[in-house]
């Protein structure tokens, strides 16, 4: 964790609105990508997991993501038929869906909790089960530069598509109230939550990203001292003639650009001692929202861990109020 503030003062962060250039044809790029994925999709499957978590139902989920690739996840929910509101959670960089029962807090709070595995990751700090079967041109170790020369080949095109496809699937799950679906996640998971909300239209009813990654990327790659953003700077230090192509690709997945499409209620968090996701990137995405109901919780003395369990309790109260969930029910 950083020991000092890693970015500009809070009063300047609250005014920070970078002039990021949106690539031509961005909406068509994503519409075509999602149409291709939906055309290749097969029916999702749910399998009950027999394990030590008995007070909740835990199911193994398999659904079709980018190009029809099988993506895995967990569905954790209270016993009963519902319908209940759902929280879809995406995982931070290097992590996977974990083991069944690793994440039970949202279900314990009365929500259907859907956790998406992360293709090609899941070996850094939590286990995953989903491969990324697509190759890449020369890349720096990690996933940040896989296919970075071309938006159609970029790794995060595949991962963002998985996230949007999961929203499609959750709307059809038994026992889910399709009008009350929220998306959340920390760091990379926060970036995926922003992408899912931006690309899914009114299918997502609320957005709760924590210290979201992949926002205001042109600034982040020259100012962030820590990985994973440094994967890109290291790649560019070798591929000296490819800066323009890489920045063009990255503009297709920048959360501070995609956030312009989000009109639903949103609750962000930011940590001012974060040296992995600079606070300026979080504020850039927050200020880009088109939502009339948006709030950001600031944790001045925290690093990338953000607000931890204290912030989760605030998220529950915030989402309960918007979804009409009675406290203690």
pLDDT value of position 327: 65
The CA dihedral of 318, 323, 324, 325, to the nearest 10 degrees, is -70
| CA distance between the termini of the chain | 37
The CA dihedral of 91, 183, 192, 209, to the nearest 10 degrees, is -80
pLDDT value of position 218: 98
Nearest to 270 by CA among 183, 160, 190: 190
Nearest to 195 by CA among 122, 284, 256, 135: 256
- What residues of the chain score a pLDDT lower than 50? 1, 329
pLDDT value of position 81: 86
Which positions are catalytic? 187, 274, 304
What letter does residue 202 receive in the DSSP assignment? G
pLDDT value of position 8: 93
Helices (H), 201-307: 217-223, 229-238, 243-251, 255-258, 279-288
With tokens 């659904």, the residue in question is 63
Helices (H), the chain: 10-13, 26-39, 105-108, 155-172, 188-200, 217-223, 229-238, 243-251, 255-258, 279-288, 308-323
Q: For residues 299 and 1, is the Cβ–Cβ distance under 8 A? A: no
* Backbone φ, ψ for residue 170 (5° rounding): -60, -35
pLDDT value of position 241: 97
0.95 surpassed by pTM: yes
pLDDT value of position 179: 98
Half-sphere exposure for 190 (CA within 13 Å, toward CB): 25
Q: Which domains does the chain have, with CATH numbers?
A: 10-322 (3.40.50.1820)
pLDDT value of position 328: 52
d(CA 124, CA 128): 9
Half-sphere exposure for 276 (CA within 13 Å, toward CB): 19
Nearest to 126 by CA among 143, 101, 152: 101
Is the previous residue joined to 228 through a cis bond, with omega within 30 degrees of 0? yes
pLDDT value of position 329: 45
Q: For residues 107 and 82, is the Cβ–Cβ distance under 8 A? A: no
Nearest to 4 by CA among 273, 225, 307: 273
How many residues are recorded in the chain? 329
What letter does residue 114 receive in the DSSP assignment? E
């Amino acid at each position: 964790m950083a020991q000092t503030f890693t970015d500009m003062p809070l009063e300047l962060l609250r005014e920070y609105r970078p002039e990021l250039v949106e690539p031509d044809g961005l909406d068509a790029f994503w519409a075509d990508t999602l149409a291709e994925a939906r055309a290749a999709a097969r029916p999702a499957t749910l399998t009950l997991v027999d394990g030590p978590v008995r007070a909740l139902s835990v199911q193994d989920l398999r659904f079709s993501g980018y190009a029809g690739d099988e993506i895995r996840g967990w569905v954790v929910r209270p016993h009963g038929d519902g319908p209940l509101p759902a929280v879809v959670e995406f995982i931070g960089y290097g992590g996977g869906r974990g083991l069944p029962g690793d994440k039970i807090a949202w279900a314990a709070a009365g929500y259907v909790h859907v956790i998406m595995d992360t293709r090609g990751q899941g070996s850094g700090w939590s286990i995953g089960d989903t491969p990324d079967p697509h190759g890449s041109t020369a890349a720096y170790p990690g996933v940040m530069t896989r296919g970075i020369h071309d938006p159609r080949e970029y790794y995060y095109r595949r991962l963002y598509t998985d996230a949007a496809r999961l929203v499609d699937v959750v709307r059809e799950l038994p026992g889910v109230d399709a009008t009350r679906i929220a998306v959340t996640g920390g760091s990379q998971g926060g970036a995926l939550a922003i992408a899912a909300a931006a690309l899914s239209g009114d299918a997502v009813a609320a957005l709760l990203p924590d210290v979201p990654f992949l926002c205001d990327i042109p600034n982040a790659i020259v100012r962030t001292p820590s990985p994973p953003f440094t994967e890109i700077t290291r790649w560019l230090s070798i591929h000296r003639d490819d800066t323009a192509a890489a920045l063009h690709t990255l503009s297709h997945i920048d959360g501070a650009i995609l956030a312009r499409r989000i009109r639903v209620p949103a609750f962000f968090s930011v940590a001012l001692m974060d040296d992995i996701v600079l606070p300026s990137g979080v504020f850039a995405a927050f200020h880009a929202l088109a939502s009339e109901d948006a709030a950001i919780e600031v944790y001045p003395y925290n690093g990338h861990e953000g607000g931890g369990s204290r912030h989760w309790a605030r998220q529950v109260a915030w989402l309960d109020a918007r979804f009409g969930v009675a406290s203690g029910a």
